[in-house]
Structure 1
Amino acid sequence: MPSAKLSNINMYYEVHGAGEPLVLIQGLSLDSSAWADQISAFSQKYRVIVLDNRGVGQSDSPNIPYSTAMMADDIVELLKFLNIKNAHILGFSMGGTIAQQIALKYPEVVKSLILVATSAKFPARARYLTKLWLKMLEEQVSTETRLQEICLWVFTDEFLADEARVTAAVNLGLNHAHPQPTHGFVGQIAALLEHDTRDEIHRIYAPTLVLIGKDEIFIPLNFSEELAANIPNAELVISEKGGHNYWMEFPEIFNRAVMQFLAKVA
């Protein structure tokens, strides 16, 4: 399995397809394997790079506080390792906060920016929830119950009404080949709670697409509106379907929006 030895960690990554580089950055607790529906679609036209952030999957999980700037450094170092000078950068949720940091710290690396279900500062409800998830871990609530609770915040009523789909999603987490270590989860949450780019995003000049599902409740619409209003070259697209994980629940809609934006940028 490909792994890049960076200055601070070993980072797992995969490269699929050929063309202009497109980097996909996952959210809290998720690793590169969750991008399956995007890899199959995007790799037909782009060189798709997926990776496991520090603290999850097959990348190292140092037992220290993380920051979104630190994780941005990891990804830019990976791109240098791969000899990639610039790329389209797509980040979902926590991945979107990391993508903002890449655009701010390394603007020359970013051909275009796609921010999915994310924010310049983590909302109060999401902050409360992530602290609650840490408490559930400390109280040794079962992994199955914790995964079921998370489904309430990231999927639509349509998804939750289908018991088979919910069970499949929960089982995917329960049977993951590389379960996230507790300290990796804690480190990633620390990064989210610290993140605040509200006073900086006006400096992002890459063409930017802000994507959100109309049924989003974890990071509500006004946080995407804030990003789109304050990033000079940004446009906001609200999906007619989907909540926080709409890229997973409705991949055709999500993939089409991304491909249309990338075609326009090109």
Structure 2
Amino acid sequence: MPSVKLNNINMYYEVHGSGESLVLIQGLALDSSAWTNQISVFSQKYQVIVFDNRGVGQSDSPNIPYSTEMMADDTVELLKFLNIKNAHILGFSMGGAIAQQIALKYPEIVKSLILVTTAAKFPARARYLTKLWLKMLEEQVSTETRLQEICLWVFTDEFLADEARVTAAVKLGLNHPHPQPKHGFAGQIVALLEHNTRNKLNQISVPTLVLIGKDEIFIPLNFSEELAANIPNAELVISEKGGHNYWMEFPEIFNRAVMQFLAKVA
């Protein structure tokens, strides 16, 4: 699959399907390969664009602090390169912060906005944990242990009770063909820590869906409620199952909610 030079980085991307454009933006430390269960469904009706954010996957990882606005610029430059004039924008966690910046800075590009387990400003627990994860990486805690610890925060008790599923998830991370460099992880954490759109949410005018699983603990429900309350044309949907990564753990529930929303606004 191709990459393109933009904003002084080589950016890896994929395009699947045809129809109205739908952009999927990943969260901290995740790349486009994690969207497999979404691409297979969404691309049946939409042109799905996925890519690796700066700092992860097959995109470049410049050793500088990143910002969510910087990564929003990366995304829009990619859309311009692909000659996509407007699109539905879906962002998960850090990707949801990037999506907010796109809607604020480039409103003409955004048809609709889907914000998945994210926040206008990340909560103290999430901020503390991400700094702890970086410290664990700097202190050379094993990758296996770090992945196991992260699982505690992003999956449900149901998932964690299934030892085979946990082992498979950790193994997938251990065998990733493009492991994230430490400076890429650090750059993305800076972007997450400094993100704050609280005073601008009322400027987002496009139809917006705010999604969260009822068992989320990393970015609690009240942060999604804040988004839905302050974005004028937003609705909040709380999944009956799932935590932070509920789009991964319960893809059928997540995909159905997204497709139902897009059917209303597309």
Q: Scaled by the length of structure 1, what TM-score is found?
A: 0.99
State how far apart, in whole Å, the 2-side matches of 1:8 and 1:195 are: 22
Give matches, 1:22-61, under 5 Å: 22-61=22-61
Structure 1: any 5+ residue segments left out of the alignment?
Answer: none
Whether 1:232 and 2:235 are equivalent positions in the alignment is no
Q: For 1:34 and 1:151, how far apart are their aligned partners in 2?
A: 15
Q: After superposition, what is the alpha-carbon deviation per residue over 1:25-61, rounded to whole angstroms, capped at 9, x for unaligned?
A: 0000000000000000000000000000000000000
Measure how far apart 1:213 and its partner are.
Answer: 0.1
Q: Which amino acid aligns with 2:242?
A: G
**In 2, Cα distance between equivalents of 1:135 and 1:36:** 30
| Residue identity matched to 2:50 | V
Q: What's the counterpart of residue 117 of structure 2?
A: 117
Q: Helix, strand or coil for the counterpart of 1:90?
A: strand
Offset, 1:135: 1.2
Matches within 5 A, 1:150-229: 150-229=150-229
Question: Per-residue displacement from partner, 1:117-175 (whole Å, max 9, x unpaired)?
Answer: 00000100001101111111121110000000000000000000000000000000000
- Equivalent residue, structure 2, for 1:76: 76
SS at the partner of 2:18?
coil
Matches within 5 A, 1:234-249: 234-249=234-249
Q: Secondary structure at the match of 2:112?
A: strand
Q: Give 1:229 deviation, angstroms.
A: 0.1
Structure 2 CA distance, aligned partners of 1:159 and 1:30? 19
For 1:184 and 1:138, how far apart are their aligned partners in 2? 13
- Residues in 2 aligned to 1:9 and 1:71: alpha-carbon distance in whole angstroms: 11
What secondary structure, in the 3-state scheme, does the structure 1 residue paired with 2:91 have? strand
User: Paired residues, what number?
Assistant: 266
Q: 1:6 and 1:136 mapped to 2: Cα distance?
A: 32
- Aligned residue for 2:17? 17
Query: What is the TM-score with the length of structure 2 in the denominator?
Result: 0.99
- Tell me the SS of whatever aligns to 1:14: strand
Output the CA distance in 1 between the equivalents of 2:27 and 2:229. 23
Which amino acid counterpart does residue 101 of structure 1 have in structure 2?
Q
Percent pairwise identity: 89
State the distance in 2 between where 1:219 and 1:202 align: 21
Secondary structure of 2:132 counterpart: helix
- Taking the TM superposition and a 5 Å limit, the aligned residue runs for 1:130-169 are 130-169=130-169
SS in 2 for 1:198: coil
Report the Cα distance in structure 2 between the residues aligned to 1:96 and 1:251, rounded to whole angstroms.
Answer: 18
Which amino acid letter does the alignment assign opposite residue 91 of structure 1? G
* Pairwise CA distance, 1:7: 2.9
> Counterpart of 2:98 in structure 1: which amino acid?
I
Counterpart secondary structure, 2:244: coil
The CA deviation string for residues 195-222 of structure 1, in whole angstroms up to 9 with x for no partner, is 0000001100010000000000000000
Q: 1:1-31 CA distances to partner (integer Å, 9 max, x unpaired)?
A: 2101113211000000000000000000000
Give the residue type in structure 2 aligned to 1:76: V
